[in-house]
Structure 1
Amino acid sequence: MMYSDLFSSLDGMRSSVFWLMPLLIMLTLWTSKSWLSSVQSASWNMLYGIWGDKKLNRFNFLRLMMGSLFLFLLINNLLGLTPYNYTFTSNLFLVSAIAVMFWLMLLASGCLYNVMKTVAHLAPSGAPMILLPFLVLIETTSIMIRPLTLTVRMIANISAGHIVLGLMANASTALLSKFFVLGLISSMIAYTMFEFFVSVIQAYIFTLLITLYNNEHPCSYSLNQEESI
């Protein structure tokens, strides 16, 4: 008996049903109005959590990009849960490219808008002078590793779930003649539901963190001053 490789779900060549899945999802949602309304309500609530930030009012293009990014990550995460389908959000180059692109966009926009305010953010107000060099170093390091943390968080959570599902599938195949295989299959179903929620949460967190990084933009400082007045 042959078993699938542990990392087969992370193989980009195993994506035979990728182009068929959007059609199947649309047909499923079309035949179930209650499910469609529930999905629409949950999606709009999450998108409102991203779009509802007043600091995005001066970045209309970013508001649209964040919504598109959330839907892109969400759909790819959910499609990765289907059998014989490749999870594109577990690809290091794809996720890192998205993270670096948005990070560079916000950083370059801040420097072009007001480079002095951007640099001033590295030194917290009210900090002792003797600690300023260390605080600037720590703040600079935290900003530089943001693309790395975004990438690792997404890939680690998505890949780990798929590997565990692969282990459980291989175990259920090996124990197919045993009685307690039903319990293992039930555990797989429960874990798949758990992975469903993880996929939604990871797409939301990835997008929300980029939105929070926008709060450090110099234009956001001006908005905060106007609100305080």
Structure 2
Amino acid sequence: MMTNLFSIFDPSTSMNYSLNWLSMILIFLMFPYQFWLIPSRYVMFWNLMINFIYKEFKVLINFSFSNIIIFMSLFMFILINNFMGLFPYIFTASSHMSFCMSMSLTLWLSMIIYSLMNYLNDFLAHLTPHGTPTILMPFMVLIESISLMIRPLTLAIRLTANMIAGHLLLCLLGSTGLSINNSFMLMMLILTQLLLYTLEISVSIIQSYVFSILTTLYSSEV
């Protein structure tokens, strides 16, 4: 029995073991075997996806493939985590702030430390846009510093809130199905659930793309 609406996101089982985090290990089962002599359709699908993501990221930054592969791996990791949460009875790791914040804060902090150690003058000059009047420079430095500090928080909240919202709506609609006796209303509920499920699939793709693209744009400033 669900005592709280948000208990569906609680990482614990009926035996009080934190086994739901094991869904992150199941991700590795979805990766193809790269050393097969004859590539399967599954391997060809992953190769097409990697080439498409590489072309998308190549437009934003002029890094080499070895650098872009970090953001490609981030995209695939978040995408598969979002998709794993669409299956029944599987814990959604990307719906927790502890998961999203650990990724965004780690990436953002590494970029800031690298920029401070290697490009300190450029980093400080970036806080004041070109052509800013002298009287407005202190305010622009304050505004740019605040916008720089809240970047990891906005990345984490965006991903967490979008994943929680759709799952909560599916849970609310699914819980009302037991109290419906009209067959027409039940069919409408099932149709609405299917439409929302399709929307959740698109949200999973879009949010992983937005997270990785914004991280790529932040790194291009470094």
Quickly name the TM-score band, shorter chain normalised. 0.7 to 0.9
| Structure 2 unaligned blocks of 5 or more | 14-19, 33-39
* 2:143 equivalent to 1:144: no
CA contact (8 A) 1:9 1:162 kept: no
Structure 2 match to 1:227: none
Shift of 1:127: 0.8
CA contact (8 A) 1:122 1:136 kept: yes
Shift of 1:111: 1.1
Structure 2 match to 1:201: 206
Aligned mates of 2:56, 2:84 — CA distance in 1:
23
Two-structure CA RMSD over aligned residues (Å): 2.7
Structure 2 match to 1:10: 9
Structure 1 match to 2:88: 83
Structure 1 match to 2:56: 49
Between stretches 74-83 and 12-21, larger displacement belongs to 12-21
Aligned mates of 1:122, 1:24 — CA distance in 2:
43
Structure 2 match to 1:97: 102
Structure 2 match to 1:110: 115
Distance 1:39 1:160, change over 3 A: farther
Deviations, residues 41-63 of structure 1 (Å, cap 9, x unaligned): 45642343124434323xx6542
Deviations, residues 200-220 of structure 1 (Å, cap 9, x unaligned): 100010010010011211xxx
* 2:191 equivalent to 1:186: yes
Structure 1 match to 2:17: none
Shift of 1:96: 0.4
Aligned-residue identity in percent: 33
Distance 1:138 1:20, change over 3 A: closer
CA contact (8 A) 2:50 2:72 kept: no
Deviations, residues 131-168 of structure 1 (Å, cap 9, x unaligned): 11101100000000001100110000000110001001
Distance 1:116 1:47, change over 3 A: same
Aligned mates of 1:105, 1:24 — CA distance in 2:
29
Identify which of 71, 86, 104 aligns with 1:66: 71
Aligned mates of 2:129, 2:21 — CA distance in 1:
52
Q: Tell which has more relative contact order, 1 or 2 (C-alpha 8 A, sep 6+).
A: 1
Aligned mates of 1:72, 1:99 — CA distance in 2:
13
SS of residue paired to 1:77: helix
Structure 2 match to 1:222: none
| Structure 1 unaligned blocks of 5 or more | 27-31, 218-229
1:95 maps to a residue whose letter is C
Distance 1:20 1:111, change over 3 A: closer
1:178 maps to a residue whose letter is N
CA contact (8 A) 1:13 1:86 kept: no
